[in-house]
Structure 1
């Protein structure tokens, strides 16, 4: 919020300073600091650019997506004007350079290949495939192990629509590596059931600059891409190992976020005891296994798999046991979900908690695209 206020203030201040060229050209007041000649045409141009900076500020505060395009135009032509009146206006270059960084980052996010626009496009495809949902009945879950049946009933899925998709908002903290500090993040996620598709858009910041990521699992292909400052791609993970690992993530999401979808025919179950089951999940030729742990109330309290691999660079992968303990179940629009969870790698040198998540919102059978609203 502080950064937003400072950025807005600088936009307004820089815009107002442009008015000095107009005032000098039309001899409104005295501007002894401006020693060069100024035609009325030039004065009107300075006025127009000043107004454009104010318009940019308004668009930015109102969160119109094209504010960065207007801002970039303003900065570029402001600098051209500064070059034309260098002796009087050269210090305006400093302001333009400061403004250019966040504006350029935001502008890159508007391009068709940006993570956000790719996310939007894939979500729209999934929403267009939505079908009418039947109600989930006790007969639908009769073939499942008793602990899974109990979990589905506990979450309130019986008698409600079968799930075609879920939209989820998380906030939390994560680490890029074990010896790093936690950084805040927020994410928006869509999971589609038929066919399975997972889209996860994450926003964070590192050294004061944005860090954005897109996890996608579409068809048979999974990918994890992370970009720093909107310009530099620092992770681009894809390939067979990634496909297998994200199949674990996809199944984990089903268990946590969409228990009503655990009737899927691509899941095979084995009961271990009254609170533990093994599951084998197959999607697009990738088969993974996991163990689900429940408590006596019927809550899913942990998920464990040996089939997920860690990668720091998107090129080398190492398999470790991966768990996601869940707790603090709450009601979200008539269905219970764990409001808090962690993601943990169990390495030989010790357990590594790399993510702590808080469930903010969940929408069942979403029918429209929405990001962080």
Structure 2
């Protein structure tokens, strides 16, 4: 009996060579192998954060030194703009707070555009180029430093909770179904509120530490990433996907909808 393509084991996609070369050049530290997380590591956390860590299957598993994620979905730049197909790869590290996110868009489903969101050494940057040569976006400065750092925090909450078990992380008790979490790096602190479902899994991540690129310039704007669902893979929970939403004065603007295609929590950056 023949086997259909959909029945065959899925071979994970490989990161683009430009992405791998960039990471290799950055020489990101992976850090030494870490001991598994224990119940004692959760002492002092708010009850809701403990419930979250237990639901995410953190206890008994090694601490995440670096994650690599592959996303597929769609993206738009304006509330009235067209949706563009999107394929994205990222690597985040824990020993040193760093994040490299490369996104490929198809403008008009024809013209390719690549965007980099990066954070390292306390500096964030957003760079976009059409056809690889024409710069269409280039942002840096304090607003991007905070915005990229809080996005690193968002990734840790949703993809690699063990990255949060570090002295740089702050916690706030907000009741049984939510908690506050913050991260401090390079003298800057950003934070968010995480809302949980009945099983202790994140429903949403909400922060006021990002700036929307509006016609008059960057404006500090509430930002959230509601999760569309959860699944079990490799012995732990991972999000099926979610959205990126600006909460503008005149209403919500969902500018990204992504599905998690692959996640590896034990990678060496640049390989």
108, 118, 127: which is aligned to 2:22? 118
What do the CA deviations read for 1:130-186 (whole angstroms, capped 9, x no partner)? 311211111111221111111111111211111101110011111111110111111
Per the alignment, residue 266 of structure 1 pairs with 168
Q: CA deviation at 1:115?
A: 6.8
* Alignment partner, residue 211 of structure 1: 113
**Matched residue, 2:197:** 295
| Ranges in structure 1 where 5+ consecutive residues have no aligned partner | 1-108
Give the equivalent residue in structure 2 for 1:98.
none
> Taking CA–CA contacts closer than 8 Å with sequence separation of 6 or more, which of the two structures ends up with the larger relative contact order?
2
Correspondence 1:364 to 2:271? no
- Quick check: 1:254 aligned with 2:156? yes
Residue pair 1:173, 1:357 contacting (<8 A) in 2 also: yes
The residue matched to 1:311 in structure 2 has which SS?
Answer: strand
What is the aligned-residue RMSD (CA, Å)? 1.9
Structure with greater helix percent: 1
Equivalent of residue 222 in structure 1, options 100, 124, 132: 124
Seen in structure 2, the aligned counterparts of structure 1 residues 119 and 214 have a Cα distance that, compared at 3 Å, is farther
- 1:138–1:115 Cα change, 3 Å: closer
Partner residue, 1:347: 248
Equivalences for residues 9-20 of structure 1 within 5 A: none
* Count of matched residue positions in the alignment of Structure 1 and Structure 2: 255
Structure number having the greater strand percentage: 2
Q: Which whole-Å deviations, capped at 9, do the CAs of 1:40-97 have from their partners, x for residues lacking one?
A: xxxxxxxxxxxxxxxxxxxxxxxxxxxxxxxxxxxxxxxxxxxxxxxxxxxxxxxxxx
TM-score (norm 1): 0.65
Task: Give the Cα–Cα distance (whole angstroms) in 1 for the partners of residues 264 and 171 of structure 2.
Answer: 27
User: Between Structure 1 and Structure 2, whose CA radius of gyration is higher?
Assistant: 1
CA distance in 2, matches of 1:121, 1:312: 33
Q: What is the CA-CA distance between 1:369 and the residue it aligns to?
A: 3.8
Which structure 2 residues correspond to residues 1-373 of structure 1 after superposition, within 5 A?
Answer: 117-122=21-26, 125-126=27-28, 128-207=29-108, 208-311=110-213, 316-367=217-268, 369=270
**Residue in 2 that maps onto 1:47:** none
The equivalent residue for 1:40 is none
Q: 1:258 to 1:145 in 2, by over 3 A?
A: same
**Distance of 1:198 and 1:336 partners within structure 2:** 21
